[in-house]
Amino acid sequence: MAVQTHNLLVAVKRACQTTTSLQGEKPWRNRLETLNVSHQDQVWVSDITYVRLKGRFVYVFLLMDVFTRMIRAWQLSQHLMQPLTLKPLEAALHRSVPEIHHSDQGVQYLSKAYLSTSGITSIERIQSYIVL
């Protein structure tokens, strides 16, 4: 409260790159709204966020099993480049394969490399704006 009383609040500038999701028609429909998640490896969700670490922003990619809430893979990077998502996905798929891979409509998840690695023919891809 003393900070507010003495007008000591400082605005923080965010100095990191973000991406946006596709606008308009989505390549995949969202089936998670009505899906009853009942077992491990049924649905994995992925997301990218950024956190401040030692005075700078770094990007964090997380791949999580919805049923167990177990983090299947993760990666930190100073740059928002393809290895941030691709390397942990490859590692996770060596251990297990989900029935559904869910993500937002970010460009990282729509790249040819990510789609081919995720096995678009064997994993049903569902993409939407659900926040878990």
Q: Domains in the chain and their CATH numbers?
A: 39-132 (3.30.420.10)
> pLDDT-based confidence at 2, cuts 50/70/90?
low
Predicted pLDDT at 42: 92
- pLDDT tens sequence across 59-89: 999 999 999 999 999 999 998 888 888 899 9
Q: What is the pLDDT of residue 53?
A: 86
Mean local confidence (pLDDT), 101-106: 76
Long-range contacts of 30-39 (CB under 8 A, 24+ apart): 30/126, 30/127, 30/128, 30/129, 30/130, 31/100, 31/126, 32/100, 32/102, 32/126, 32/128, 32/130, 33/128, 33/130, 35/100, 37/66, 37/67, 38/67, 39/67
Q: What is the mean pLDDT of residues 123-132?
A: 44
pTM of the prediction? 0.68
Q: Give pLDDT tens digits for 4-51.
A: 555 555 454 555 455 555 455 555 667 777 889 999 999 999 999 999
Contact by Cβ (8 Å): 34, 5? no
